[in-house]
Amino acid sequence: MQAVYRGASAHRMRARGEVMMQKNRTRRAARTFCSLSLAAATLWGVSVTAPAQDARSALRALRQGGELGVMLLKWERGGAETDTFSAPVSLALRMTPLLREGEESIAQAWSAELEQPPADSGSGEDAAQDDEEGTVLSQPVTTGELKVTENGVTARTLRPSDPSGYTVCGNVYINNGSDAALDASMLSGDYAAKLGAEGPQVLIIHTHGSESYTMPAGSEYEASDTFRTTDTRCNVVRIGDEMAQVMSEAGLGVVHDRTLHDYPSYSGSYDRSLKAIEDYLAEYPTISFVLDVHRDAVQDANGNQFKLLCGEDKNAAQLEFVIGSNGGGLSHDLWRENLKLACAVQETLYQDYPTLMRPITVRNSRYNQFKTTGSLLVEVGTAGNSLEEAVNGARLFAAGFAETIQNKG
């Protein structure tokens, strides 16, 4: 390759030399700062993870070790925008014996990690729940960005680009974020739940009923909290109304509990919804399927909100199943039956809307799903979606759900 030199005056040459010297001084200062920060992060990592028994518990210790540690890790990760660790981070991991052994597992866990809001501090069943809301986009798994003007929120369509790290069952991708064992062979055969006799067959409930969406300008609701409202025309109770209508029109017997179990107190909401589920099952023993309908919150590492849209219908929000397990140590031996049901519904929807459903997430908490073998938690859209998009996605989902359980052999 030939370089073409275009002449410059002596004055310009001197100025350029001064700029280069300044840049070199800046680089030396940056390297010094990086070295000191890396040393601090390494010492912190060693102290926090010393009691851990394995890489997963070490990662959990890192996340619980205080805001300083999380900040350092996020800084070293470049804002958690990539799937691989930088050279300084890899060096820090290798200087920490336990993390060195599980570096690959930690990288996978970090890239798939769901960032949680403050845990619900209720008693009983509620105290053991991980809050299911809140996803941080940490890797480019989108089909592209759409410039959306309706409510001013950027839209994406999430779909897995690589099966690595997922359990794959047919056309369904499963992200096992629990400590419970899972592989595709465990999901063979039909799901256990089946439609009962005449009477209510499906219960729709909302543990966090006040969860709401981003309305277009001029259509705002009165908020009870951030992305929450007690106005049931604008929160997920409205989504349950739409689902119930579609399922009823398909011939199913549906009970829709429109109670706001998270208001006025968010704490204890899972305890309250559990009591409601138990009461409904006692009153209507024909109920075999329980849908706990929520909405997710998806943002990037900088806190920017995103809406998620189905690639085949840009007016419909994407949905996600969150399946509880016994990974947290509580009794829930039949949790995979719920997962089988979720896979069956997702396969049905895949035929016409391959990207309507996001990959299924399995968590340690039970989310009250131990009461039946037909219990599902479904996230309809995100806080960034509009109500209309959530309604459209919910109606598509409800039609596919009804088709699945009515056509069981």
Q: Give me the residue label for tokens 């999901």.
A: 187
Higher pLDDT, 393 or 38: 393
* Separation CA 305–CA 179 (nearest Å): 29
In this predicted model, what pLDDT tens digit does every residue of 328-367 receive, in sequence order? Answer: 999 999 999 999 999 999 999 999 999 999 999 999 999 9
| DSSP secondary structure string for all residues of 61-104 | HHHHS-HHHHHHHHHHTTTTTSSS--HHHHHHHHTSHHHHHTHH
pLDDT at residue number 303: 86
pLDDT at residue number 29: 53
Q: Picking from 24-28, 90-94, 283-287, 395-399, which range would have the lowest pLDDT averaged per residue?
A: 90-94
In this predicted model, what pLDDT tens digit does every residue of 77-121 receive, in sequence order? Answer: 333 333 334 444 444 444 444 444 444 444 444 333 333 333 343
pLDDT at residue number 207: 98
* Separation CA 376–CA 319 (nearest Å): 12
Of 176, 178, 177, 132, nearest in space to 367 by CA: 132
* Separation CA 308–CA 295 (nearest Å): 11
Contact (CB, 8 A) for 316 and 394: no
* Separation CA 236–CA 208 (nearest Å): 8
pLDDT at residue number 42: 52
Q: How many other C-beta atoms are found inside a 10 Å radius of the C-beta of residue 177?
A: 19
Phi, psi of 176 (to 5 degrees): -85, 95
Higher pLDDT, 380 or 70: 380
Q: Give me the residue label for tokens 């949680």.
A: 116
Question: What is the rounded average pLDDT of the residues 16-29?
Answer: 48
Asked whether residue 53 carries a pLDDT value surpassing 80, the answer given is no
pLDDT at residue number 296: 97
The most confident of the ranges 130-134, 136-140, 334-338 is: 334-338
Asked whether residue 61 carries a pLDDT value surpassing 90, the answer given is no
Asked whether residue 288 carries a pLDDT value surpassing 70, the answer given is yes
Q: Picking from 19-28, 72-81, 215-224, 276-285, which range would have the lowest pLDDT averaged per residue?
A: 72-81
Asked whether residue 278 carries a pLDDT value surpassing 60, the answer given is yes
pLDDT at residue number 302: 87
Sheet with strand 289-296: strands edge to edge: 167-169, 172-176, 360-362, 319-323, 375-382, 289-296, 202-205, 254-256
pLDDT at residue number 3: 28
Q: Sketch the domain layout of the chain as residue ranges.
A: 10-111, 124-406
Non-local (6+) Cβ contacts of 232 within 8 A are 209, 238, 241, 258, 260
Per DSSP, the three-state class of 404 is helix
pLDDT at residue number 283: 97
**Residue 150: pLDDT band with limits 50, 70, 90:** confident
pLDDT at residue number 131: 62
| Torsion sign over Cα 350, 212, 255, 321 | positive
- Residue 298, H or E segment: strand 298-299
Question: What is the rounded average pLDDT of the residues 366-379?
Answer: 98
- Angle 332-337-339 from CA coordinates, rounded to 5°: 95
CATH topology for 124-406 is: Aminopeptidase (3.40.630)
Higher pLDDT, 49 or 200: 200
pLDDT at residue number 230: 97
Q: Which amino acid, one-letter code, is at 58? A: A
Q: Give me the residue label for tokens 């794959």.
A: 168
Asked whether residue 202 carries a pLDDT value surpassing 90, the answer given is yes
Phi-psi region of 79 (alpha: psi -120 to 50; beta: other; left: phi over 0): left
Non-local (6+) Cβ contacts of 117 within 8 A are 131, 133, 134, 297
Reported in sequence order, the residue ranges of 300-374 that DSSP labels E, i.e. its strands, are: 305-308, 319-323, 360-362
Contact (CB, 8 A) for 298 and 142: no
pLDDT at residue number 137: 58
* Separation CA 247–CA 252 (nearest Å): 6
pLDDT at residue number 161: 85
Of 342, 330, 231, nearest in space to 292 by CA: 342
Question: What is the rounded average pLDDT of the residues 164-190?
Answer: 96
- The token duo for 246 is 């579609």
| DSSP secondary structure string for all residues of 133-193 | --EE--S--EEEEE---SSS--EEEE--S--TTSEEETTEEEEE-SSS---GGGG-S--S-
